[in-house]
Chain A
């Protein structure tokens, strides 16, 4: 036992925290401070034990490791700073490295255009835990953004979180064991495709929050695998995602012009796909939400997805009761769940006008309107009444240095 302790102390500072590589840390920080536009900062393979957040404020820099399992920035011993890596720069590329166990967000990129995140892993290595940092890969207020071939694990809010951004491609990533796997929030013109979202609380979320400078719209979610997102919600109560039931596949909340097609969505215990308004989050209140905010999901177009299983073990008493009363103990909720809130100003003959409709044209898949406005009193299941179509959104074209 004593021997074991000695051996462990050889690797760490004996207080449970890894020993900080002070010299490597200072060298890395200096490189970031003194970077010039056009620089490529290479970080050799190895695990770097850092106790302070890293930050970059210089435009046109590429930060490059030797692989997401080889160059590892570990923030287990972090005492300083609220992120792992904080970037405030345009024309920024980060690739081939991992950011582990940061105390706050892992990688936050704010206020830049032409941002590429490639083959980056953000992970909290202890797995899902409430004490993990909020976001893994977190660009906010960016323009022309690419996140590809990356991995996000264990975030206590969202693994890949795109906030308040415009012209976005999120593809070929793997998000697992986060509260939200991939979340596109208050962002416009996003293509989310070829991703795997699994074992999160909710797989892929397209959200709009109130009080932010821009509302989100025009997102396409296609050709993703969204499977078994049944991890218990481990977010801290109060955050938007803390209201997402475990077992949610694709979640559209208070957003507009969202197209969901050609996805494989399977075995998500509450619902494979849901469309809901901000009223269902429990935060809607008269004083704290700007008047300009539109809490209703509108112009939602769902078609050609492949649903399998799911809906058989819904999270929360309301959904459990609903399932048992309508479908029995061994039954399941339909693939698509809608909370039933509509903007009364946008009704024509009792239905949303055609341009704002929720159109579901997805073969045999059924939709349940849970009648949220009346506290689930009169839920109803349907299919034919949701069939309609909306103009398809154009593909996102990345521009400038990210043009393909």
Chain B
């Protein structure tokens, strides 16, 4: 018994709370614990990025069952990424990107949506007493390419353990019970391989248009692209004003079209593109797409099955109730919902945005029943 306790103490001392491990690149293998990467420190009841681990935020994020997210990027000393206008930046070997999913907490049993509490920016650290940590996904650039590692947090919030085969967690958000799915490594690939045939992983969020926005760093507010340049993490970038910028989907002052396209881009465009996993559908939703038919306008579904919801076209202009797209965004059944992975709740506010976008469209789908 004493031995076991000793072992337990030893184990505890190696967790995040106990050790001040420095951030580091692990070139091989499947590190069993999140703390192996040394990206975070836990002190004073807070989980904070280590020095050199830079938090960032996106103009419009992927919806993940109303979870809040802390995103970080770290590179080995002297290394930097090369700016690209449209694709993810070209990151050096050794880069470690993390995304920690958490919920503001009402009590141990009930989590709350991301906007139920003031945003925690990751500079001061996440206040562990008021949140429930769920998972941290690590994307690391190794010699052979990017690799993904999902880690699931323990109940004590002292360590996250590798879960390459994913996990399902029963959570209650407000009054809604739901199953939170931690994706397995292959499911990570379904979004993170922009050129699906190549099987090469890539980051999604770290693109100019997504991070081109101000962020409140310890030393004050600064545009994220300019900050990454300043600290030596990014080279070749233009002034932020010259770089592409995606709309904030919640910004009521931005054009509806820009907000909707930004939402579709980050939530759907990595699969629904000319080279992505969903290319077989003929529906392409990344931000570069201009042809209305490719975006779903009057486009008959290809292989939707029950996912049509009884509707004949992906989008019928002016008619969200007759359009497949909002039906699948609102759907929660595994064979119906879109995106297919990464959520089991529907995003009401996001679906409302797409419905508004469709409502504002002019025209109709002219059926040609005869020649």
Contacts and interface: CB of A to CB of B under 8 A. Distances in A.
B305 A104 contact: yes
B283 to A, nearest CB: 8
A303 interface: no
Interface in B232-270: none
B307 A80 contact: no
B371 to A, nearest CB: 6
B167 to A, nearest CB: 9
Interface stretch (B72-80, B99-107, B137-145, B334-342): B334-342
Contacts of B311: 237-238
A201 B340 CA distance: 28
A34 to B, nearest CB: 9
A156 B305 contact: yes
Given A29-B166, A81-B187, A238-B311, A285 B305 contact: no
A63 B299 CA distance: 37
Contacts of B370: 279, 372-375
B181 A57 contact: no
Given A51-B168, A55-B184, A239-B304, A81 B334 contact: yes
B189 A57 contact: yes
Interface in A1-51: 25-26, 29-30, 32-33, 51
Contact of A103 (B166, B303, B312, B334): B334
B45 interface: no
Nearest to A29: B165
Nearest to B178: A79
Contacts of B340: 81-82, 104
Contacts of B301: 238-240
Q: How large is the interface on B (under 10, 10 to 19, 20 to 34, 35 or more residues)?
A: 35 or more
A140 B324 CA distance: 22
Nearest to B166: A52
B280 interface: yes
Contacts of A140: 280, 303
Contacts of A285: 298, 313, 365-368
B197 to A, nearest CB: 6
B135 to A, nearest CB: 14
Contacts of B186: 32-33, 55-57, 86
A79 B298 contact: no
Interface residues of A, number: 68
B30 to A, nearest CB: 9
Interface in A45-102: 51-53, 55-57, 78-82, 86, 88, 102
Interface in B181-215: 181, 184-187, 189-190, 196-197, 199
A105 B334 CA distance: 10
Nearest to B306: A236
B306 A130 contact: yes
Contacts of B277: 88, 110
Interface of A: 25-26, 29-30, 32-33, 51-53, 55-57, 78-82, 86, 88, 102-105, 110-111, 130-135, 138, 140-141, 156-157, 161, 163-164, 209-213, 235-240, 242, 279, 281-290, 341, 344, 372-375
15 contacts: A29-B166, A32-B186, A78-B334, A79-B168, A81-B334, A157-B305, A209-B300, A238-B300, A238-B304, A279-B368, A282-B369, A284-B369, A286-B366, A287-B292, A375-B370
Given A57-B186, A237-B310, 11 more contacts: A30-B164, A30-B165, A52-B181, A53-B334, A88-B277, A110-B280, A134-B305, A211-B282, A236-B306, A238-B313, A282-B312
Interface of B: 164-166, 168, 179, 181, 184-187, 189-190, 196-197, 199, 277, 279-280, 282, 292-294, 297-313, 324, 333-335, 337, 340-341, 344, 363, 365-371
